[in-house]
Amino acid sequence: MTTAFRPRHFTRKSLVPGQATASMALPVFLMLQARHLQLLIAAVLMWTAGLNAADAPSEQQLTSARLEFERALIEASLEPLKKQVIELDAIEKQRAAARDYDGAIAVRTERRRLEGELERLDKQLLLIQTREQSLRSAALPDRIPLPLDQAELNGVRREGGEITGWSRTGTGAAWKLPALPPGGYEVVIRYRCGALDGGVLDVREVRFHLSSPIETTLKGPQEKNLGTLKITDGSGTLTLSATTLLKDNLMDLLGVWLIPAWR
């Protein structure tokens, strides 16, 4: 279980004789949050004990909630801890300037200890973020639909449950991604394309994109895997746009899905 950093009771008076007492300990709420975490877990256990098996949260949900709380606890600890390191650095320089070398050494020792604690918390935060991403990845469905009725249209139109009218280069549709974990995703579309239609479709996220030819569908609507796209911002925008047209229309789009490439 992650607990908040508990600093030593280290006051300015103990380091700088003759100056006003001013505690440099981290805010009390950071130490209390560890207790809050224990109470939260106890409350969850008591609550789940009274639920039917079908209603109780899954182990994955409980793990996710615990990781989220631990991450918030560490993030709340970082800034006050950095502030204390800065204050200690200033006091160390004051002691050295006053030729109180023993005092300066004592302050430097404490500052370095806190810097080590900062490094430890940073590594722990990275570990928690990695575990959170792993949990989100495991919870994804095999196919993630991007509903056509939620697309933002640019020069195309909805017609009978389809998106059509891809009659100029640059026209297309965009979706806001549903907070996906970063990684590779196969982009699959279901479409219909006449003999005189077709061209090239571009699929783009914040940094990366892929292009795929759109061929005639001789036997009616069909699915096509456009390739694997690396998604760097899982809450960003995914855009499909026509880059080349054979004649009047790129295609009639009937559906769009993302498939996690690691499945």
What is the average per-residue pLDDT within 27-46?
A: 51
Q: What is the DSSP letter of 210?
A: E
* CATH code for the domain in which residue 194 is found: 2.60.120.260
Specify the pLDDT at position 161.
92
Specify the pLDDT at position 131.
83
Residue 234 vs residues 65, 97, 219: alpha-carbon distances, Å: 20, 51, 35
**Whether residue 175 sits in one domain with residue 194:** yes
pLDDT band at 101 (very low <50, low <70, confident <90, very high): very high
**Whether residue 203 sits in one domain with residue 94:** no
**Whether residue 135 sits in one domain with residue 160:** no
pLDDT digits (tens, 9 = 90+) for 124-147: 998 888 888 777 777 788 899 999
Domains in the chain: how many in total? 2
Q: What percentage of the chain exceeds 70 in pLDDT?
A: 78
104, 139, 174: which is the final residue of a domain?
A: 139
**Whether residue 177 sits in one domain with residue 78:** no
Gap between the Cα atoms of 128 and 73, Å rounded: 11
Task: Tell me the DSSP string of 7-28.
Answer: ----BHHHHSTTSPP-B-SPPH
The two beta strands, 144-145 and 183-192, are unpaired
Assigned domain for 159 exists: yes
pLDDT at 229 over 70: yes
Assigned domain for 5 exists: no
Assigned domain for 217 exists: yes
Boundaries of domain holding 129: 12-139
pLDDT at 19 over 50: no
**Whether residue 208 sits in one domain with residue 98:** no
Rounded to two decimals, the pTM is: 0.60
